[in-house]
Amino acid sequence: MNNSHIRYEALHPLVEEILEKLSERIGVNTLFFALNDSYSNFVVKAINQERQLIEEGSTHVFQHVLCKLVVDETDGKVSINELLNDPLTVNHPVTKALGNGSFLGVAIKNAENEKIGTLCAFDDQPFDFKEQDIALVERYADIISKSINVETYVIKDALTDVYNERYMNRLISSVTIHPAFLMVLNLDRFHAINATHGYRSGNEVLREIANRLKYVPLPNHVVGRMDGNEFVVLAALEQEQEFEQHAEEYARIVTEAIEQPIVGVADEPIHVTASSGVSLLTGDMASRQTQIYAAEALMQQVKHDGKRRTSFVNPNRHAEQHPFASVLESELSHALERGQFELYYQWIVDAKQEHYVAVEALLRWNHPVLGFVSPTDFIPIAEKMEIFPDIGRFTICQAILDQRRLEETFGRKISVAVNLSANQFESDQLFSELIRLTEESYFPNERLILEIREEVLQTRRRFAIKRLEQLRQAGYRLTVDHFGSHYASLNSLLRLPVQAVKLDPIFTRRLVQNQLERSMIRSVHSLTSTLNIALVIQEVETPSQLQHIQTLDELLYVQGYEVHHPQPIDQLLVEDIIRGRAEV
């Protein structure tokens, strides 16, 4: 069996959607998508009409299938209306088995431009493939190829071949019925290894540590490199009680693997230690962010206190998981009525023409004593206290008022983007309020952009798509935020009624130094352009990042400190900075 089908399993919903669309347009009996490795041809997805000519999930000898003709063809395209009348297929094993038939196939290519499979239309009867049929299959094959290119960059860290930060964030933050052991570790004094032995040796050390972590004897574990010399180990648990039973043992196994001397990299063995924090992740999404924060905070504390130690979170002590939780809970209950919340605004800019196209509303909590409190700290607590619906309602209403002020001041149409949390997006009450708002004559719904984070689309996909369609029909413009950190939007991108996607900021941070990140952005941009969806690059903070982005084509926008710092509405109004207008 072709093992590559496992790697591209995340593309199955996308491919299924494509096959359904093709079946509505091309009247052949069978449509299928297959992957091959020159030995076998694995049928990933198949749609049969009257007769089952291709079995989904089946594997065939590559030398005996029509897909080989496509892969062998220079331009990766074969169209045969009648198998018995074409010299390529008159004596082919498939023709002999069918008696006659028809076939149209277009190659699927990976990020290295290698032909790894085919998108095919197939029948046991002759069929007259029109030019439009061929063009349609080519277009969808191109979408699958570009999706595979995106998927290639989403999973693995280029240096160490363990999972990268994007994918680990997806695993850590995903909803699960099982608890998990989470260990965040940072290699101690790694800068000294680079200084003594050189960066190439330092990279070899990172590869060796990553390889050791991959093969430590922990049940159902995965390993990721978050950035630099920081790694994460995640191991599934059947029950939360197992954390108390096994957490110290798991941490010891990981630590011992790291501390074995590394030989063969330098003239002498290299000794490595690590500082780490360990937390229990539960299936409770409201608590998960603080559980992740706890492991990271404990690791940082170990680094500060002297390194080479593991600190464990007590899952029964909430204050230990978030040192300010009790303070924030107390202050949050009065923050809205005391007028401590305000919106800051940041412009979104056309990357090519450099004019401003929209503005995003960013919620800020300005506490008189604590100062500005990060949304990542207070939003999970506000949701747990069940007061975030009121805060979210304030955000939307204030953004609408400010949008009107912006248009009145600058004398032109201006779109404002507002983020919806997962709970807001799924709230029937908020959804009713959003629909009711569009019925007001003054409401500029076409100029209010709702941003939904990608992980919202992970679960209840049909519900999410239906709700997006209803919001779009009501007149809202829609954006998927943090695209590339999960698979959900990639799976559903063909059906999502969105006008834009915002790339996960992780891609931007390593854009200048990492060719892989530039390739990733080009692949995502190529895919979104094919679907006529705008792409927004977030957290653009340096001139070099902006210059790299500007080498790409149209339908590309940027947002970040390099083009504009977030400002409160009054400060924004006094700056005549709008230099043009375009549609995101």
List, run by run, the mean pLDDT of 10-residue segments along the chain (584 residues).
47 82 94 88 92 91 94 94 96 94 94 88 96 95 84 74 80 70 92 89 93 91 89 89 90 95 90 92 68 82 84 63 68 91 92 84 89 82 86 91 87 89 89 86 78 78 88 91 65 80 80 68 81 90 85 82 89 63 40
Q: What is the pLDDT of residue 177?
A: 58
Task: Give me 188's structure tokens.
Answer: 């101690």
Q: Is 450 helix (H, G, I), strand (E, B) or coil?
A: strand
Taking the C-alpha atoms of residue 124 and residue 97, their distance in angstroms, rounded to an integer, is: 10
Number of Cβ within 10 Å of residue 202's Cβ equals: 21
41 CB-near residues (< 8 Å, 6+ apart) = 2, 34, 35, 59, 60, 61, 62, 65, 67, 68
Residue recorded with tokens 């009409």: 49
Q: What is the pLDDT of residue 95?
A: 95
Q: What is the pLDDT of residue 354?
A: 73
Per-residue burial over 120-154, b = 16 or more CB atoms within 10 Å of its CB, e = otherwise: bbbbbeebebeeebbebbbebbbbbbbbbbbbbbb
Q: What is the pLDDT of residue 13?
A: 73
Task: Give me 269's structure tokens.
Answer: 């063995």
pTM of the model: 0.68
Residue 258: name the closest of 325, 350, 361, 185 by CA. 185
Q: What is the pLDDT of residue 580?
A: 41
Q: What is the pLDDT of residue 578?
A: 46
In angstroms, the Cα distances linking 564 to 342, 410, 560 are: 18, 17, 6
70 CB-near residues (< 8 Å, 6+ apart) = 76, 77, 78, 105, 106, 107, 115, 118, 120
Q: What is the pLDDT of residue 320?
A: 47
In angstroms, the Cα distances linking 487 to 170, 373, 423 are: 9, 31, 20
Q: Edge-to-edge strand order for the sheet containing 30-36?
A: 59-61, 40-48, 30-36, 115-123, 102-109, 77-80
